[in-house]
């Protein structure tokens, strides 16, 4: 089979990511073999290629977001998943037996690994075939395309986990979605609107702000302007917001904390602009602020997202679909913040 393999690290993906012919994997016990029809890109793919901030198994196949068809099942796979099923990946590999896993918090499992990033050698989604534990695939309704599924899995599951599981979003709340033009932001806006919330989205330019409004955001603010947080406060009639959906980090974090209502909740899943932030701790104790962290999510959360995609209420947004032979351009394009939506490649089409 063909796979996008790299055998050394580089800041320039074009230098190291090559389409190679390698052996098609066999499913282990409890695993299924999937013919990959669509695979989407995430920032962890770039971290893998760069070789930082953490070491990863080499040689490496990246890709944590795929959809395709089950073509073989290993021993001990239950009757739930069969050959011919259309499925998408749930990229959290966890032990499923520890206290955290069995209490429904698989995302807190101490042995959790992100498939396609921390796994290998040669075990990820940018390949014509891949294998996954049965518990790490979700079935796709017929009306959800492979490209849409690949585009929504990771960001949809993470956004669902942040807003629903962690921040416990309720109808009618005011929700500030930071970075609304990113893959994470697009999913966050749509989930907050599912709950009929008032959504203020931020973006880095006018074009992305307009697209956030088209997706359903009620207001859009440019977070690159120095007084962005004053604009948010004015939109709320100086009341502040109930929930902040955060993944930008240092450049906005201190101002965000001051935008929360009494008892409000900030949920963070990343820090693209830097992690060594400072806040005025008086906001934390005096205002009863909830500062929450979130990483990825649960398989159940992913199934909820896929159900809403099937109903047409969450619409995956795809920026570009690349033939597999040209897939490395996706890595290059991802570093470009002018994207709106996900990049997807199609391993069966070179
Ligand atoms: Zn566990």
> What does the DSSP 8-state code read for residue 127?
B
The alpha carbon of 96 and the centre of ligand 1 are apart by a number of angstroms equal to 5
- pLDDT recorded at residue 78: 87
Of 237, 223, 293, 286, residue with least CA distance to 265: 293
Q: Are 14 and 112 in the same domain?
A: yes
Q: Are 161 and 131 in the same domain?
A: no
Q: Are 123 and 195 in the same domain?
A: no
For the chain, state the CA radius of gyration.
20
Q: Are 122 and 218 in the same domain?
A: no
Q: Are 126 and 177 in the same domain?
A: no
Of 126, 134, 143, residue with least CA distance to 65: 126
pLDDT at residue 79 is higher than 90: no
- pLDDT recorded at residue 337: 66
The alpha carbon of 160 and the centre of ligand 1 are apart by a number of angstroms equal to 20
Give domain status of residue 311, yes or no.
no
CA angle 205, 211, 217 (to 5 degrees): 105
- As a whole number of angstroms, the distance between CA 106 and CA 296 comes to 10
Which CATH number covers residue 41? 3.90.180.10
**What's the rounded mean pLDDT across residues 239-251?**
96
Q: Are 170 and 273 in the same domain?
A: yes
- As a whole number of angstroms, the distance between CA 152 and CA 147 comes to 9
Q: Are 27 and 106 in the same domain?
A: yes
pLDDT at residue 223 is higher than 80: yes
The alpha carbon of 168 and the centre of ligand 1 are apart by a number of angstroms equal to 23
The alpha carbon of 95 and the centre of ligand 1 are apart by a number of angstroms equal to 4
Task: Specify the range with the lowest mean pLDDT, choosing from 117-121, 128-132, 337-341.
Answer: 337-341
Give domain status of residue 310, yes or no.
no
The alpha carbon of 226 and the centre of ligand 1 are apart by a number of angstroms equal to 43
Domain that holds residue 190: 157-293
- pLDDT recorded at residue 98: 98
What is the number of domains present in the chain?
A: 2
Which CATH number covers residue 262? 3.40.50.720
């Amino acid at each position: 089979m063909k796979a996008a393999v790299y055998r050394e690290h580089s800041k320039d993906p074009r230098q190291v990511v090559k389409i190679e012919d390698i052996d098609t994997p066999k499913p282990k016990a409890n695993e299924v073999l999937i013919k990959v029809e669509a695979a989407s890109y995430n920032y962890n793919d770039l971290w893998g290629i760069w070789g930082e901030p953490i070491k990863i198994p080499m040689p490496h196949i990246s890709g944590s977001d795929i959809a395709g068809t089950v073509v073989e099942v290993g021993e001990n796979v239950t009757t739930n998943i069969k050959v011919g099923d259309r499925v998408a990946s749930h990229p959290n590999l966890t032990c499923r037996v520890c206290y955290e896993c069995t209490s429904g918090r698989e995302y807190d499992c101490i042995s959790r690994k992100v498939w396609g990033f921390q796994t290998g050698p040669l075990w990820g989604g940018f390949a014509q075939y891949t294998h996954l534990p049965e518990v790490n695939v979700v079935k796709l309704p017929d009306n959800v395309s492979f490209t849409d599924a690949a585009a929504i899995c990771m960001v949809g599951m993470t956004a669902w986990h942040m807003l629903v599981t962690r921040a416990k979003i309720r109808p009618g709340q005011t929700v500030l979605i930071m970075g609304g033009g990113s893959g994470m932001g697009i999913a966050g806006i749509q989930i907050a609107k599912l709950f009929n919330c008032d959504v203020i989205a931020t973006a880095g330019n006018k074009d992305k702000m307009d697209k956030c409004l088209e997706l359903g955001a009620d207001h859009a603010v440019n977070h690159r302007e120095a007084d962005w947080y004053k604009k948010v406060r004015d939109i709320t009639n100086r009341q502040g917001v109930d929930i902040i959906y955060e993944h930008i980090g240092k450049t906005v974090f201190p101002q965000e904390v001051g935008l929360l209502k009494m008892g409000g909740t900030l949920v963070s899943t990343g820090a693209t602009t830097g992690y060594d932030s400072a806040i005025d701790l008086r906001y934390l104790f005096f205002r009863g602020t909830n500062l929450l962290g979130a990483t990825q999510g649960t398989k159940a959360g992913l199934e909820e997202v896929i159900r809403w995609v099937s109903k047409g209420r969450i619409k995956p947004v795809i920026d570009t679909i690349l033939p597999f032979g040209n897939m490395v351009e996706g890595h290059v394009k991802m570093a470009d913040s002018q994207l709106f939506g996900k990049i997807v490649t199609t391993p069966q089409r070179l």
